[in-house]
Amino acid sequence: MAPVILISGGSRSGKSAFAQQMAEQIEGPRLFVATCPYTDPEMDERIRRHQQDRQGRGWQTAEEPLLLVEQLKSCKPGTTVLIDCLTLWINNLMYEAGERRQEINEDQVARQAEILGKAAGAHQGTVIMVTNEVGSGIVPDNPMARLYRDLVGRCNQVVARTADQLFLVSCGIPLQIK
């Protein structure tokens, strides 16, 4: 059975580059699932650079901000899937809930993360997920930022439990934890 791998670390720690290198060492088709929405010119440039890094390396890309489980279920067996990143997925879930004028809480996110972890484990190919470690900094000064930190933390815990391997990347150096 192919592994489920979670890669975490701080912003700009080298998580995505490590995940891409890891995925590119696996034979067969590769799918990059991008969760980042186009929001402004600076973010558009970041997305463009990430796309450029994958160009000519055998990647297909699916831009999917919310429906990660459905994306996994639609993949052909043997496809290595790289989801980058869960942190933006949580952001997108929060935004979507706000647009519907609904609350989102840790229990809801935990259920969705558990479903995602099970779908990743059921996929017949390696699944690599990238996320930010957001709990190592200061306590945010407003309720929305604290909720975001808590939701990401809960998601990370649930996915880490289901993952076969867990790496923490710091200063571009990966450390295998699980």
Catalytic residues: 50
> Which residues sit opposite 169 in a β-bridge?
9, 174
* SS3 assignment, position 63: strand
Contact 174, 126 (CB under 8 A): no
- In this structure, are residues 116 and 159 in contact, taking their beta carbons and an 8 Å threshold? yes
Indicate the angle between helix axes 41-54 and 15-24, nearest 10 degrees: 30
> C-alpha distances in angstroms, 51 versus 92, 114, 145, 172?
20, 29, 29, 20
